[in-house]
Amino acid sequence: MKAAKYPENPLGRRIAKALWLLLATPLAALAVEDEPLGWANQYIEGEEESWQEQQGELPPYPEKGNLLKVDVDTGGLQFTVYLDKPSLVKRDDGVVRYTVILVSSTGVWNVSNEGLHCGEKMFRRYAYGVDNSWQPIPDSPWRALRGKGANRYRMVFYDKYICDPIRLDQSAAQILDRFQQDWNEQM
């Protein structure tokens, strides 16, 4: 089954793209400072090493049958959050990469391929989806997680599924199991 596309009429396409830009643009209300970043260095044993992110490739574009609904309160915004199961990978650099789909109440897909770095409590977007294909974001910066509105899903992913300070060595399969233990339904 194919993913939902933008409406075919030009006005509908412009409206859908404007909604995507609204979602992708940080809102002033979301610019509230969160708690301190990551796990404090004094609690991590060993010498401090300079962290280097590994290069990675974008996964295949998400298909409707591979999506897992994740229960996330988006602060009154009308989005349903889905994780693309095959896209979830954990690399040797400690970054967990995944594709997330926010589906609006009108059925528009907002697709983003992202990574979380647990030790720093940061995220990075690698690409966004347009017309069932990836649009890479070259040299996108790492940003601090925020826990409000449409961006709330990242904080939930961090706290509840991906970054468990007790089990630092979770594999991608173990992380996916945590998502699936809490899932509501497949799309």
**Do residues 68 and 82 lie in contact, with contact meaning Cβ atoms separated by under 8 Å?**
yes
**Residue 100 and residue 153: Cα distance in Å, rounded?**
9
Which one has a higher pLDDT value, 19 or 31?
19
- Number of domains composing the chain: 1
- pLDDT in the model for residue 71: 86
User: Is pLDDT above 80 for 140?
Assistant: yes
Residue 114 is assigned to a structural domain of this protein = yes
Residue 40 is assigned to a structural domain of this protein = no
Residue 70 is assigned to a structural domain of this protein = yes
- For 62-102, how does the pLDDT look when each residue is reduced to its tens digit (9 = 90+)? 999 999 999 887 777 788 999 999 999 998 888 999 999 99
Which residue range is the domain that position 19 belongs to? 10-32+59-181
Q: What pTM did the predictor assign?
A: 0.70
Residue 3 is assigned to a structural domain of this protein = no
pLDDT > 70: percent of the chain: 68
- Residue 125: how many CB atoms within 10 A of its CB? 17
Rounded to the nearest integer, the mean pLDDT of the chain is 78
CB crowding 52-81: b at 16 or more within 10 Å, else e: eeeeeeebebbeeebbbbbebebeeeebbb
